[in-house]
Structure formats: C-alpha cells, structure tokens
C-alpha cells in the first residue's frame, strides 16, 4: 500500500513539475544626468584611436580632487546644458593629475584645472589654463571647434608662410641676362636721380657791394 502511494506521488510530480524560478532582471545602467558632459569611459590612448577613426576632436580635462577650482569647474561648467550640447560631438576625457600617467607630461600640464584640445590626429589644437565659468568656457569651446585663434591655426599660418618663402625664386635661380637688365635699370635710375638733383641746384651769385 505504502509503495503504491509513493509511486503515485512520483508519477504526479513528473506530470506537474515545479516551475523554475524566473531569473532576476538585469539592472538598467544609471542614466546620464541631463545637461552633464559625457566623459569617455576608456583610457586616453583609446580615446585618441577613436578620435582618429571617427575624425573627432578630443578634449582632455586635467583635474584634481585636491583642487577647489577643478571641483568648481566640474560642477559648474561641465554640468551646464549648453556646454554639454557643444561637446556632444567631441570625445571628452577626464584625467586625474594626482594619478601617475604620461598624459600630463606629454602636454606639459603642471597643475589643475587645465583643458587640452587635440585634433583628430592627436596634434595640439589649443589649451585652456585655470578655471573658466560656463559662459566663458562655452565661448572658448565654440572658437576652438571652429579653429579660430588657436595654436593650431597659428602653426598652420607659419607653415604656409614658410612654404611661400620657399616658393619665391632666389637670386641664383634668375637668369644672368635678367639680373643684368635689372642691375642696368637700377644703375640708370640712380644716375638719373643724381642728374636731376644737380639740375635743381641753383648757381651761386655774387652781389656787388655799393661803394
């Protein structure tokens, strides 16, 4: 009898198995606070690679928790909705100067806060030293993105001027006949000026004294 009951219970369990518990839902990532700058999650070298691949600018914010001005800039300028909107197409990296790393020495950053802007190829575009409020930083960011009045623009102008100087013909590249004609022309012009000056001089006159 007992054996029959156990068999019946086992058969019932097979026909109606206990359902497995549902897996716990995966927590959704914390949403980015509205208006705040989105900081790049990978390291600096990865940011440079992505900037080159995507043809984007890089903005590196060198900060320190021990610097009140760094903390203030992070809370004010980089929490401003207008600044966040202006930087949405820029790869923004936050670097702690208190932690050892080659980035600060690579760009001669000796204190915080300091903001370094880089071209997509990693070349220096501009730098912003010390604290800037939201309004000032927004104006600077707009100018830098347009590459106006930046270190990069100055470098480009100097390079263009040097190229223009190299393109100008040197005296050795001018044909001998041309140089001779120029020399003769300059000599004739000089002689003409001398003659003209001589003609303008009035002869000295002697006045007879009355007796």
CATH of span 44-161:
3.40.30.10
Instruction: Quote the pLDDT of residue 136.
Output: 98
More confident residue, 104 or 6: 104
Token representation of residue 173 = 């590249």
Residues 6+ apart with CB under 8 A from 139: none
Instruction: Quote the pLDDT of residue 209.
Output: 47
Section 134-142 average pLDDT: 97
Token representation of residue 195 = 């003659």
Instruction: Quote the pLDDT of residue 30.
Output: 41
Burial 136-172, CB ≥16 within 10 A → b, else e: ebbebbeebbebeebebeeeeeeeeeeeeeeeeeeee
Closest by alpha carbon to 89, among 53, 137, 38? 38
pTM for the whole thing?
0.64
Other Cβ atoms within 10 Å of 106 Cβ, number? 13
Instruction: Quote the pLDDT of residue 137.
Output: 98
82 pLDDT band, cuts 50/70/90, is very high
Tell me the CA distances in angstroms from 181 to 44, 64, 173, 185, 190, one per residue in order: 62, 69, 15, 6, 14
């Amino acid at each position: 009898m007992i054996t029959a009951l156990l068999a019946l219970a086992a058969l019932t369990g097979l026909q109606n198995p206990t359902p497995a518990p549902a897996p716990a839902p995966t927590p959704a990532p914390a949403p980015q606070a509205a208006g705040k700058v989105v900081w790049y999650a990978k390291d600096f070298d990865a940011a440079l690679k992505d900037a080159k691949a995507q043809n984007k600018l890089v903005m590196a914010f060198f900060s320190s928790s021990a610097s009140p001005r760094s903390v203030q800039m992070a809370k004010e300028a980089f929490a401003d909705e207008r600044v966040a909107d202006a930087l949405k197409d820029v790869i923004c990296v936050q670097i702690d100067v208190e932690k050892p790393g080659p980035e600060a020495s690579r760009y001669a950053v000796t204190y915080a806060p300091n903001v370094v802007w880089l071209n997509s190829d990693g070349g220096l575009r501009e730098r912003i030293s010390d604290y800037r409020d939201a309004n000032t930083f927004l104006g600077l960011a707009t100018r830098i993105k347009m590459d106006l009045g930046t270190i990069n623009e100055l470098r480009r102008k100097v390079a263009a001027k040097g190229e223009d100087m190299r393109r100008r013909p040197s005296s050795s590249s001018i044909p001998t006949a041309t140089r001779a004609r120029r020399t003769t022309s300059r000599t004739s012009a000089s002689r003409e000026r001398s003659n003209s000056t001589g003609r303008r001089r009035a002869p000295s006159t002697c006045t007879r004294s009355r007796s």
